[in-house]
């Protein structure tokens, strides 16, 4: 696990972003390791926190805002005022898992959908922070669940992939509606074809850093 390079005095601007919804291609693409942290990257992180709070979430992965890089923001309290609870995990990995517990999960990219997902109860994690420092620790309960959920995102895995066949079938109608809406937007020229989106995403993932403005 190589640390990303720190680049000082870079531009502090970030593009306006939105949370992408299923079936946006970014949600199914495995993200690339972050190789560079600069002021623009930090600005993106701050904007992701703002989006997460506005959507009443507790975690948000980069590919949920169309950035195929391996990092996510996390505040288990979900409270904007509790900045001390904010964490950024860059190039995160799980080194060990213990126990097993089932809990209900939802997703900001799959609004209004929920289901019971089995996760490890305790995990040992490694990652880097915004200062390029290595983080190591043990998470359990809600923090462990959120970490696993967001890490899945970085691998192109959604919580619906971990549901039982019966639970997944109960969501099929709503998922079909979301897919139909996406295709209708593409047909109207509101969003590019999947192939064009994937071409751009793969280039960013391979570079390991944010694309140029």
Residues labelled as active-site residues: 150
C-alpha R_g of the chain: 17
Q: Which ranges constitute the DSSP H helices of the chain?
A: 39-54, 141-154, 165-187, 194-207
CA 47, 150, 19, 8 dihedral sign is: positive
In 3D space, the residue among 153, 94, 86, 163 whose CA is nearest the CA of residue 122 turns out to be 94
How far is 92 from 89, CA to CA, in rounded Å?
6
Contact 120, 160 (CB under 8 A): no
User: b/e for 59-97, b at 16 or more Cβ within 10 A?
Assistant: bbbbbbbbbbbbbbbbbbeeeeeeeeebbbbbbbebeee
How far is 132 from 71, CA to CA, in rounded Å?
12
| H or E segment to which residue 122 belongs | strand 122-128
Structure tokens at 47: 């904007």
């Amino acid at each position: 696990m190589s640390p990303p390079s720190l680049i000082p005095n870079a531009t502090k601007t970030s593009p306006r972003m939105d949370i992408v919804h299923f079936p946006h291609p970014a949600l199914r693409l495995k993200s690339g390791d972050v190789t560079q942290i600069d002021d623009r990257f930090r600005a993106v992180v701050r904007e992701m926190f703002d989006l997460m709070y506005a959507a009443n979430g507790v975690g948000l992965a980069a590919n949920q805002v169309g950035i195929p890089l391996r990092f996510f923001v996390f505040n288990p309290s979900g409270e904007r005022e509790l900045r001390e609870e904010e964490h950024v995990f860059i190039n995160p990995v799980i080194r060990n898992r213990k126990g097993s517990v089932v809990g209900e999960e939802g997703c900001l990219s799959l609004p209004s959908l929920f289901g019971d997902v089995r996760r490890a109860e305790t995990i040992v994690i490694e990652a880097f922070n915004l200062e390029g420092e290595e983080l190591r620790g043990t998470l359990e309960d809600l923090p462990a669940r959120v970490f696993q959920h967001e890490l899945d995102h970085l691998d192109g895995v959604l919580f619906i992939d971990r549901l039982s066949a019966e639970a997944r079938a109960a969501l099929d109608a709503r998922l079909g509606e979301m897919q139909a809406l996406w295709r209708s937007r593409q047909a109207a020229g509101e969003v590019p074809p999947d192939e064009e989106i994937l071409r751009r995403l793969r280039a960013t993932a391979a570079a390991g850093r944010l694309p140029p403005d």
